[in-house]
């Protein structure tokens, strides 16, 4: 990481993008104390999460404010049943049994996986495992959810389902989302902010629409949705009043055209 | 080998036996084993095996239980042969019906041993076993290691298969060659497996850190084992029966075939 | 070149992964196997080099029945790059890693050296020759996996989910490599659920669902058949989705370049303006 200056407010939905190895995973780990406590190396500067200085607090405290979900579904599930796994972190934190029960029920409900409660973790599909992983973190009631390429190993359908759930967490439950991803088409319409990282430095930071409109992001390893390319070409041939703002999803695009057609 | 392993796997069930406290089941298995250890008489051993068979029927796992016993046949035959040959090598012994019979009995006793533990594993989930260990005040570290072993063994097995597939696809032939060359051929299997295990451990360590493992000394538990009336009754009955068995063995003059 | 005749495959646990596969792939084709996880794609790939042999029916590779061949001999012709290929490294240096298969296939020593050098160059790994494969970055490891297979120049190259976890630049490189290998005469089979990647490549597509082939045809046809794609739990490429939803403008679902679509929309828009 080089000279990173950043401020993220409550309720934001932030995408961290950039080529493989650009530093997005490293940045994520700064928010829950894995850096500096879990990794060797040198950290210069200060990171504050919910008012806590990450250098002064261990990961097990910070994880209750900023929970993290990883890429590989199998390497973050520890118990043999779904219910036991969701309870795992709370048990480690010595929560009283009633509170654990309550939070496990809540987490199952929020993620929409009540029917998986008694299932063995060995029988779940990839998408289901990731939902359980998120539920087990939500049980700690974090204000922030850090996600490191959570859909990497999932097929498109399961990926979409997972992303829809994550969007829900932000919109309905006001959880701040920081997600590092390569598969951006499904996320872009819902993100309030995109931060593009190149070689450990933040090169672009702002509203996804504006960033994609004004900048060529492909050299940074960021995939531009095909429809945005269509829009770029359209703007060249027709005047700009047809497309007042850049649609980031097929629905938005169609909507713009329909409105124009009515006029 | 895989038949024995399958006999030890857990399958969910709702029978009376499944619902018993795992500690009670453990005690029953141990008592059955102890009874078999006390006696060499075929009648008693048969009674023990019949009890085990009945338990497996009640638990609706009879076919799987039978398969374990069947699968252990090679081992049992091996024990029989070993014991018989050992007997023969002793001075003064000769090939007689008596010596065959004695070796057979020994092997038969082994059946009772294996069968009693099979029942336990067939009706207890690893989770319940973990809870039993916790209740018996085993430090959490060990219970967690046990659960993790169960949790990750299938994943490692898949990984191993993956590696074997990949290396076979690069022309590796594992069946060829003598003992020494064959061992060398396993390097492309073992090294990637080790690397995979190490890498996985690293990722697991990260994940467990964010789940606050080891954060507090007094860990709490969502589920706890509690003995019910049924458990106590079953436990008492088993102890009584076992006591009777001891008495017959040591204090009575009844001769048993 | 590759023929599947009524192939069925049942796993030891009873799961029927392939349920009557009939397939013919000719030399030099580029084919994509698509479908959700569990549809049978990887199982099918493993039948190409004999790792799995059909429980019913047969697979012919250049006329040779896979049931009567060893994996080693079939692999000489069919190179499979598995999804987690980076997990198969074990050698002290990258050169030795690439040479492993060449040794197994009994290539003469001087040829091995040439092939290793060529493979390193082709996959842009020359500077790393003496390095340990474990010290490479994720992207470099994937390139090494490809180098390993391409080094022995199999006639058929099969790739299982080659774009998982890759950024756009790495994917573009992958497309280049596939096209180059195909130009050299190789038959390419790709198993993928990355719809945009396949849309860019425009191969023949074989859609699978629950162990059966549901559709087999050119990309332009298969990727625009939205109902069938949904049946196989695949999302259509964005361009196809867009053109199908602009039906009120008179557009039809089409697999086209963004520029073409833009021109088409512009045309219709001007058309409407002229008539208003």
| Separation between Cα atoms, residue C216 and residue C272, nearest integer Å | 38
pLDDT of residue B249: 76
Does residue C260 or residue B49 have the better pLDDT?
C260
**Residue in the block written with tokens 């006329």:** C63
Q: Quick check: B222 and A84 CB within 8 A?
A: yes
Q: Which of C65, C67, C55 lies closest to C15, judged by CA?
A: C55
pLDDT in tens, A231-243: 888 888 776 667 7
Same domain for A190 and A124: yes
pLDDT of residue B9: 57
Q: Quick check: C87 and B171 CB within 8 A?
A: no
| Separation between Cα atoms, residue A88 and residue B208, nearest integer Å | 10
Q: Which of C238, C259, C270 sits opposite A225 (nearest CB)?
A: C238
Residues of B in contact with C105 (CB under 8 A): 171
Are the C-beta atoms of residues C168 and A221 closer than 8 Å to each other?
yes
pLDDT of residue B209: 95
pLDDT in tens, B134-161: 888 889 999 999 889 888 988 999 999 9
| Residue span of the structural domain in which B150 resides | 137-210
Q: How many domains does chain A have?
A: 2
Q: Which of C72, C82, C104 sits opposite B166 (nearest CB)?
A: C82
Superfamily of domain C1-77+156-166+185-220 in CATH is P-loop containing nucleotide triphosphate hydrolases (3.40.50.300)
The chains found to touch A (3+ Cβ pairs under 8 angstroms) are B, C
pLDDT of residue B92: 66
Distance from CA of A101 to the nearest CA of C (A): 34
Classify residue B185 by burial, with Cβ atoms within 10 Å: 0-12, 13-18, 19+. Answer: middle
Are the C-beta atoms of residues B132 and B221 closer than 8 Å to each other?
no
Residues of C in contact with A224 (CB under 8 A): 168
Q: What is the mean pLDDT of residues A99-114?
A: 96
Same domain for A235 and A143: no
pLDDT of residue B1: 40
| Separation between Cα atoms, residue C157 and residue C188, nearest integer Å | 5
Same domain for A64 and A186: yes
Q: Where are the domains of chain C?
A: 1-77+156-166+185-220, 237-276
Q: What is the mean pLDDT of residues A240-251?
A: 82
Q: Quick check: A157 and C258 CB within 8 A?
A: no
**If pLDDT is split at 50, 70 and 90, which confidence band does B10 have?**
low
Chain B residue with CA closest to A122: the answer is B151
Does C272 reach chain A within 8 Å, measured CB to CB?
yes
Same domain for A84 and A46: yes
**If pLDDT is split at 50, 70 and 90, which confidence band does B7 have?**
very low
Distance from CA of B173 to the nearest CA of C (A): 7
Same domain for A216 and A257: no
Is position B257 within any domain? no
Same domain for B120 and B35: yes
Distance from CA of A1 to the nearest CA of B (A): 20
Same domain for B157 and B234: no
pLDDT in tens, B200-247: 999 999 999 999 999 998 899 998 888 888 889 989 998 998 888 888
**If pLDDT is split at 50, 70 and 90, which confidence band does A169 have?**
very high
Q: Quick check: A160 and C139 CB within 8 A?
A: no
Give the residues of chain C that fall short of pLDDT 50: none
C-beta contacts of B125-131 below 8 A and 24+ residues apart: B125/A80, B125/B10, B125/B12, B126/A80, B126/B10, B126/B150, B127/A79, B127/A80, B127/A81, B127/A84, B128/B22, B128/B225, B129/B22, B131/B22, B131/B221, B131/B223, B131/B224, B131/B225
pLDDT of residue B176: 77
Is position A7 within any domain? no
Q: Which of C82, C87, C104 sits opposite B171 (nearest CB)?
A: C104
Same domain for A232 and A179: no
Same domain for B104 and B13: yes
Distance from CA of A236 to the nearest CA of C (A): 9
Same domain for A263 and A174: no
Q: Quick check: A92 and B213 CB within 8 A?
A: yes
pLDDT at B96 over 70: yes
pLDDT at A8 over 80: yes
Q: Which of A157, A226, A231, A255 to substitute to test the interface with C, most C CBs within 10 Å?
A: A226
Please state the φ and ψ torsions of residue A14, each to the nearest 5 degrees: -110, 130
What is the 3-state secondary structure of chain A?
CCCCCCCCCCCCEEEEECCCCCCHHHHHHCCCCHHHHCCCCCCCCCCEECCEECCCCCHHHHCCCEEEECCCHHHHCCCCEHHHHHHHHHHHCCCCHHHHHHHHHHHHHHCCCHHHCCCEHHHCCHHHHHHHHHHHHHCCCCCEEEEECCCCCCCHHHHHHHHHHHHHHHHCCCCEEEEECCCCCCCHHHCCEEEEEECCEEEEEECHHHHHHHCCCHHHCCCCCHHHHHHHHHHHHCCHHHCCCCCCCHHHHHHHHHHHHHC
Same domain for B147 and B118: no
Chain A residue with CA closest to C268: the answer is A261
**If pLDDT is split at 50, 70 and 90, which confidence band does B4 have?**
very low
Same domain for A91 and A28: yes
Calculate the average pLDDT of chain A: 93
Element of type H or E holding C107: none
Q: How many domains does chain B have?
A: 2
Are the C-beta atoms of residues A159 and A187 closer than 8 Å to each other?
no
Q: What is the mean pLDDT of residues A20-39?
A: 93
Classify residue C228 by burial, with Cβ atoms within 10 Å: 0-12, 13-18, 19+. Answer: middle
**If pLDDT is split at 50, 70 and 90, which confidence band does B109 have?**
confident
Same domain for A131 and A48: yes
Does A106 reach chain B within 8 Å, measured CB to CB?
no
| Residue span of the structural domain in which A243 resides | 225-263
| Separation between Cα atoms, residue A138 and residue A145, nearest integer Å | 8
* pTM assigned to the model: 0.88
pLDDT in tens, A174-223: 999 999 998 898 999 999 999 999 999 999 999 999 999 889 999 999 98
Q: Which of A38, A80, A121 sits opposite B209 (nearest CB)?
A: A38
Are the C-beta atoms of residues C84 and C42 closer than 8 Å to each other?
no
From chain C residues 205-244, the ones with a CB under 8 A of any chain A CB are 233-235, 237-239, 241-242
**If pLDDT is split at 50, 70 and 90, which confidence band does B2 have?**
very low
Same domain for A242 and A209: no
Same domain for A255 and A211: no
Tell me the percentage of chain A whose pLDDT exceeds 90: 78
pLDDT in tens, C117-166: 999 999 999 998 899 999 998 889 999 999 999 999 999 999 999 998 88
pLDDT of residue B177: 75
Same domain for B202 and B118: no
Same domain for B231 and B120: yes
pLDDT at B110 over 90: no
Q: Quick check: C89 and B196 CB within 8 A?
A: no
pLDDT of residue C77: 96
Q: Quick check: C239 and A19 CB within 8 A?
A: no
pLDDT at B47 over 60: yes
Chain C residue with CA closest to A72: the answer is C165
The chains found to touch C (3+ Cβ pairs under 8 angstroms) are A, B
Alpha-carbon distance values, A259 to A190, C253, C257 (Å): 21, 21, 25
């Amino acid at each position: 990481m080089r000279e990173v200056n950043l401020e993220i407010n409550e309720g934001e939905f932030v995408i961290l993008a950039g080529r493989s190895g650009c530093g997005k995973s490293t940045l994520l780990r700064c928010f829950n104390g894995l850096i500096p406590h879990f990794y060797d190396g040198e950290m210069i500067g200060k990171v504050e999460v919910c008012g806590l200085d990450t250098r002064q607090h261990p990961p097990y405290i910070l994880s209750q404010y900023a929970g993290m979900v990883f890429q590989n579904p199998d390497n973050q599930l520890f118990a043999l049943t779904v219910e036991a796994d969701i309870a795992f972190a709370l048990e480690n934190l010595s929560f009283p049994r009633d509170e654990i029960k309550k939070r496990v029920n809540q987490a199952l409900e929020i993620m929409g996986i009540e029917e998986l409660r008694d299932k063995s973790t060995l029988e779940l599909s990839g998408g289901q495992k990731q939902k359980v992983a998120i539920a087990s973190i939500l049980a700690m009631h974090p204000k922030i959810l850090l996600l490191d390429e959570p859909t990497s190993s999932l097929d498109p359908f399961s990926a979409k389902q997972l992303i829809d759930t994550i969007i829900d967490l932000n919109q309905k439950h006001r959880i701040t989302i920081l997600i590092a991803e390569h598969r951006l088409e499904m996320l872009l319409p819902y993100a309030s902010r995109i931060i593009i990282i190149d070689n450990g430095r933040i090169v672009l930071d702002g509203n996804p629409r504006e960033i994609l409109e004004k900048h060529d992001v492909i050299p940074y390893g960021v995939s531009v949705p095909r429809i945005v390319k269509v829009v770029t070409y359209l703007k060249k041939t027709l005047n700009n009043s047809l497309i007042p703002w850049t649609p980031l999803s097929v629905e938005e695009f169609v909507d713009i055209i329909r409105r124009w057609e009515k006029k | 080998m895989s038949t024995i392993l399958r006999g030890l796997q857990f399958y969910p069930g709702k029978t009376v036996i499944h619902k018993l406290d795992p500690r009670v089941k453990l005690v029953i298995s141990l008592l059955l084993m102890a009874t078999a250890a006390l006696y060499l008489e075929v009648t008693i051993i048969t009674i023990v095996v019949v009890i085990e068979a009945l338990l497996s029927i009640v638990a609706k796992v009879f076919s799987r239980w039978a398969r374990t016993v069947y699968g252990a046949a090679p081992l049992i035959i091996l024990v029989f042969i070993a014991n018989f040959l050992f007997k023969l090598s002793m001075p003064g012994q000769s090939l007689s019906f008596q010596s065959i019979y004695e070796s057979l009995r020994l092997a038969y006793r082994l059946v009772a041993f294996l069968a009693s533990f099979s029942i336990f594993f067939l009706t207890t989930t690893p989770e319940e076993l973990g809870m039993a260990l916790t209740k018996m005040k085993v430090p959490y570290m060990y219970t967690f290691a046990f659960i993790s072993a169960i949790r990750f063994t299938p994943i490692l097995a898949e990984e191993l298969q993956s590696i074997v597939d990949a290396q076979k696809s690069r022309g590796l032939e594992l069946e060829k060659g003598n003992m020494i060359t064959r061992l060398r051929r396993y390097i492309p299997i073992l090294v990637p497996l080790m690397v995979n295990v190490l890498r996985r451990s690293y990722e697991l360590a990260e994940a467990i850190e964010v789940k606050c493992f080891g954060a507090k000394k007094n860990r709490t538990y969502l589920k706890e084992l509690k003995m019910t009336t049924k458990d106590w009754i079953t436990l008492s009955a088993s102890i009584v029966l076992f006591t009777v068995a001891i008495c017959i063995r040591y204090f009575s003059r009844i001769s048993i075939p | 070149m590759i023929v599947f005749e009524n192939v069925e495959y049942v796993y030891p646990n009873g799961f029927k992964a392939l349920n009557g596969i009939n397939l013919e792939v000719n030399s030099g084709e580029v084919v994509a196997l698509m479908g959700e996880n569990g549809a049978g794609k990887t199982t099918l790939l493993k039948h190409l080099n004999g790792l799995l042999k059909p429980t019913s029916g047969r697979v012919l590779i250049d006329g040779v029945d896979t049931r009567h061949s060893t994996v080693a001999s079939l692999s000489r012709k069919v190179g499979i790059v598995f999804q987690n290929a980076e997990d198969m490294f074990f050698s002290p240096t990258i050169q030795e890693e690439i040479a492993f298969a060449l040794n197994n296939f009994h290539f003469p020593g001087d040829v091995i050296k040439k092939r290793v050098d060529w493979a390193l160059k082709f996959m842009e790994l020359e500077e790393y020759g003496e390095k340990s494969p474990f010290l490479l970055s994720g992207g470099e490891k994937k390139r090494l996996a490809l180098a390993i297979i391409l080094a022995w120049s199999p006639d058929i190259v099969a790739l299982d989910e080659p774009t998982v976890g890759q950024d756009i630049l790495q994917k573009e490189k992958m497309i280049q490599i596939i096209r180059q290998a195909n130009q050299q005469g190789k038959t390419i089979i790709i198993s993928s659920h990355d719809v945009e990647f396949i849309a860019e490549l425009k191969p023949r597509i074989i859609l699978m669902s629950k162990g059966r082939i549901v559709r087999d045809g050119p990309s332009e046809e298969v990727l625009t058949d939205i109902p069938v794609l949904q049946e196989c739990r695949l999302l259509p490429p964005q361009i196809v989705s867009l053109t199908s939803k602009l039906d009120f403008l008179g557009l039809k679902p089409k697999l086209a370049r963004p520029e073409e679509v833009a021109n088409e929309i512009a045309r219709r828009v001007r058309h409407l303006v002229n008539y208003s």
